[in-house]
């Protein structure tokens, strides 16, 4: 299964590399790598990486818009499209739902399934315009992955 997901340097919630007590970088394994890649894709602005022009998302643009039904649907479609761009994600299993969007705060839940995995994976996307903070967190981090 590691062949499907590969490995990467493990990042904390603040997107900085995690280091073990002995000074070595921690690595992701299995589906944890895929979940981290999806978090990074959603957090990174589309076309920002010079070496992968198609990596990233337009999430930042949507969260600046006025809260309307059509903007909620547009945000959800953007998140779903970018998650489905990951080749390890099973097409048709991706969903995103805006659960709150008022007074400059947006909260959405995204879910999907990976190839060869038996359970869905989830992220919470939260934005607060008061402090301009975007947080994309794993809903149910699985220890040991």
Q: What is the 3-class SS of the chain, one letter each residue?
A: CHHHHCCCECECCCCCECECCCCCECECCCHHHHHHHHHHHHHCECCCCCCCCCCCECHHHHCCCCCCHHHHHHHHHHHHHHHHCCCCECCCCCEEEEEEEECCEEEEEEEECECCCCCCEEEEEEEECCCCEEEEEECCCCCCC
pLDDT at 144 over 60: no
Is 12 part of any domain? Answer: yes
Percent of the chain at pLDDT exceeding 90: 63
Confidence (pTM):
0.87
Is 130 part of any domain? Answer: yes
pLDDT (tens digit per residue) in 125-136: 999 887 778 888
More confident residue, 143 or 103: 103
Number of domains in the chain: 1
pLDDT (tens digit per residue) in 80-104: 999 999 999 999 999 999 999 988 8
Is 145 part of any domain? Answer: no
What are the two backbone dihedrals, phi and then psi, of residue 61, each rounded to the nearest 5 degrees?
-70, -40
Q: In the 8-state DSSP scheme, what is residue 63?
A: T
- Domain holding 16, by residue range, is 2-138
pLDDT score at 90: 96
pLDDT score at 143: 52
Is 33 part of any domain? Answer: yes
Is 143 part of any domain? Answer: no
Categorize the per-residue pLDDT at 142 as very low, low, confident or very high, splitting at 50, 70 and 90.
Answer: low
Q: What is the CATH number of the domain that holds 133?
A: 3.10.450.40
Mean pLDDT of 98-113: 92
pLDDT (tens digit per residue) in 30-54: 999 999 999 999 999 999 988 988 9
């Amino acid at each position: 299964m590691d062949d499907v997901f590969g490995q990467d340097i493990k990042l904390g919630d603040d997107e900085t590399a995690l280091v073990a007590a002995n000074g070595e970088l921690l690595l992701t394994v299995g589906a944890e790598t895929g979940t981290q890649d999806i978090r990074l894709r959603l957090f990174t602005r589309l076309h920002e990486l010079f070496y992968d022009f198609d990596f990233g998302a337009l999430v930042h643009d949507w969260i600046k818009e006025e809260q309307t039904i059509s903007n909620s649907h547009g945000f959800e479609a953007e998140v779903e499209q970018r998650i489905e761009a990951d080749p390890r994600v099973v097409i048709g299993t991706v969903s995103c739902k805006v659960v709150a969007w008022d007074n400059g705060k947006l909260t959405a839940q995204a879910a999907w399934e990976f190839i060869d995995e038996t359970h869905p994976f989830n992220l919470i996307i939260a934005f607060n315009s008061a402090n301009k903070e975007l947080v994309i967190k794993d809903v149910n981090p699985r220890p040991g992955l």
